Structures are given as C-alpha cells and as structure tokens.
Copies of this chain bind each other. A is one copy, B any other.
Amino acid sequence: MTVSRALRDPDKVSAKTLEKIKAVVDRLGYVPDPAASALAAGKTNVIGVIVPSVTNNVFSDVMRGIYEAAEGSKWQIQLGNSRYSPLEEESLVRTFLSQKPAGLILSGLDQSEETSKLLMGADCRIVQIMECGPDPFDMMIGFSHVDASAAATRHLLDAGYERPGYIAARLDPRSQRRLAGFKAAAEKAGVFDPARIVTTPRASTVTLGCELVADLLSKAPQTDAILCNNDDLALGALFECQRRGLRIPEDIGLCGFNDLEMMAAANPPVTSVRTFRLAMGREALRMLTGALAGIEPETPVVDLGYEVIARQSTARVG
C-alpha cells in the first residue's frame, strides 16, 4: 500500500521510505499495471480526443498542441477519428466512455442528440474545441467562424473588391458557419450574389480548389475576389488563377482561411485568416487537466479569436 502511495503521490510518504521504494522499483524494473489501477480506482488517466480528421492540417496542429501539453504528464491521450460523421462520433464517445476516461476533448458544437445524452451522463470533464458557442457541455475553447469569415469578407471589400465569391468543400458545420459569415457580410454591403458561391460535398484538396475556381469563374466571370473556405482551396485557387493568366491581386483577390504556414511563402503571399490551432489544443488540454486538478477555468468558454493577415494577394492597386 505504501508503495502504491509512493508511486502515485510521493508527498504522502516519508522521504526515506520513498528512497527505499525508488531503489527497489529501479532494481526490479517494476512498472505499475494501468489496467489493475483502472479497475481498482474506477477511473483512468486517459483523455479521449475526438477529431473529424487526422489528415487535415488544422486538426493535426490542434493534436500537436494537445500532445505537447500532455507530454511528460500522467495523462494518456487517446485519439479517435470521427471522419466528419456524427454517427462515428457517437460510437467513439461510447467506446471512450466505457474506458472511464478522466476527460474528453470533442470537436465542435454539433453533437448528435444521442451523443449529447451520453455526454450529459458522463462522469468526466469535457472540453469542446474549434468553436465558441453558448451552451458548453462543460468547457469550450475556440473562436467564432461566422465572425472570422465576415471579417475576411470585409477585408476584401475594404481592399476595393466589389464582387466577392466564395468557394467551399465538405460543408461540415464550421464550413457552413464560415459561409454564413461571408453571406451576412456580403449582404450587409449589398454585394451578395448566390451565383458567386460554389460548394461541393467532396473533401477539400488543392486540386479541388482549382476546380471550384474554374466553376466559379465560368458561372460568374465578373468575380473579382475569392474567399476560400480553407487554405488548401486557396492554394488551388492561386494555381488556377495563375494558369488562367489572371493577375493576383490586380485582376482577382484571394483570401484563405486558417493561415497555414505556406500562405506566407506563396507567390504572391496569400491573405488568410489566422487561427490559433496549436494554442487551442494546448489550452484545451490545460483547461481539462486543470479542472481535473480542481482548478476551474475563469470562464467555461474561452474565445481565442482570429486575425486577418493581409498579404499581397488582396493588395489591390487602384
């Protein structure tokens, strides 16, 4: 028993017994069995993380933040990939909960009703990431996608573009809100035209960015700026515009979303909405482990904001 205590909470054991125990543990190469611990204690050090994609750069940055923050702690990250499917998410939540996790990190606000029920009844702390919204299950960290894309839209208008279009792939809830932000800002400025919106349910790729721009320009050749739902599409848009001999930013303005590292390196550098993905992952884990240690966050919902990074691709002259 004292050994068990020494290993879990060294402060509860006198210095010299601790020493002795450590020596023996080293000599024997003893490693505690997490399964036995989990069974006896009725809980684990597992933190379940559910993301909709493991390949999307956005989520890999978030994951990195989570892994970095968990590094060296007792917390075990367990990753689940819901592949943008609420049903798979539900099944993952079920699996995770059966493991009696200490905490759960989920993406977005749009859990299915069944998932919500599971989460309400769950005996663990929960952090929702990627977005900000009114009714967290427990805690939440993210930003407003509507506001961010509205701000990007205004930036295009401020730069002198008059007929902005929007391209988007895989309309997951966050993409839809970004589209809604664009629509709202464009309508408010009186420049909204549904013909300048091109979307597809397909997963977003650079190639798809090319195709969507081709579509957009054939439907609405007068388009003079494109807000892209993400940076992969923006990169494709850049290539496609260049292939068509369109000058950026003179003939057409280009704005991405997320500000992946490549946007600054592109030729010309591409304007994008910076989001704080690494910080989001890191802080999500910190909030969670903090709460598990009894330190509640100041507010349950943390808004990390966004930043429109203006670059040459929207620096219209004249």
Chain A contacts to B: CB under 8 angstroms: 31-36, 38-39, 44, 54-55, 57, 60-61, 63-64, 67, 76-79, 81, 94-95, 97-100, 205-207, 209-210, 232, 235-236, 238-240, 242-243, 261-262, 264-267
- A9 to B174: give the CA distance in the assembly, Å: 41
B94–A31 contact, CB under 8 A? yes
The main secondary structure of chain A at its interface with chain B is helix
- A76: chain B residues at CB < 8 Å are 78, 95
Closest-CB distance, A209 to chain B (whole angstroms) = 7
Closest-CB distance, A232 to chain B (whole angstroms) = 8
Closest-CB distance, A28 to chain B (whole angstroms) = 14
- A236: chain B residues at CB < 8 Å are 262, 265
- A60: chain B residues at CB < 8 Å are 54-55, 60
- A81 to B36: give the CA distance in the assembly, Å: 25
Quick one: given A98-B34, A206-B261, are A79 and B79 in contact (CB under 8 Å)? yes
Contact of A210 among B78, B81, B209, B265 (CB under 8 A): B265
B99–A35 contact, CB under 8 A? yes
Chain B residue nearest in CB terms to A46? B78
- For the A-B complex with A206-B261, A206-B265 known, give 5 more contacts whose Cβ atoms are closer than 8 Å: A31-B98, A34-B99, A54-B64, A236-B262, A236-B265
- A264 to B208: give the CA distance in the assembly, Å: 11
- A7 to B44: give the CA distance in the assembly, Å: 23
A64–B57 contact, CB under 8 A? no
A262–B242 contact, CB under 8 A? no
- A60 to B266: give the CA distance in the assembly, Å: 23
Chain B residue nearest in CB terms to A66? B54
B77–A265 contact, CB under 8 A? no
